[in-house]
A = this chain, B = another copy of it.
């Protein structure tokens, strides 16, 4: 996935609809959490097991919600000059420090 290219397309898309005045980071963050909750809605009444065995129609729907959240994330990053790839790499390092791996089974700690 080419993030810079996607961000450029999203900027052009917004410009062609004269949406720029609405696309403040504050508003984009609100739109993003609304889409995040629509993704949650797919799973709200499912058991954990059912959530692991979605039918095809639900997987298509899920893909749409994943895309919606992702596209808003990329727009927030674009408008706030956050480099998504570096942010992800930095976060993976932080997560690894915060949660050290467990010793393998049979290994002493």
Q: Is A8 an interface residue (CB 8 A)?
A: no
A69-B94 Cα distance, complex, nearest whole Å: 15
A73 touches B66 (CB 8 A): yes
Tell whether A71 pairs with B88 under 8 Å between CB atoms, given A48-B24, A80-B54.
yes
Number of copies: 4
A36-B41 Cα distance, complex, nearest whole Å: 12
User: Per-position contact with B for A7-32: 1 when CB-CB < 8 Å, else 0?
Assistant: 00100010011100010111101111
Q: Is A108 an interface residue (CB 8 A)?
A: no
Instruction: Please count how many residues in chain A sit with their CB below 8 Å of the partner chain's CB atoms.
Output: 68
Tell whether A39 pairs with B43 under 8 Å between CB atoms, given A9-B92, A70-B88, A87-B64.
no
B22 touches A45 (CB 8 A): yes
Which 5 A-B pairs have CB atoms at the shortest separation, nearest pair first?
A37-B37, A63-B87, A67-B91, A26-B51, A16-B101
Chain A interface (Cβ < 8 Å from any Cβ of B): 1, 3, 6, 9, 13, 16-18, 22, 24-27, 29-34, 36-49, 51-52, 54, 59, 62-64, 66-71, 73, 76-77, 79-88, 90-92, 94-96, 99, 101-102
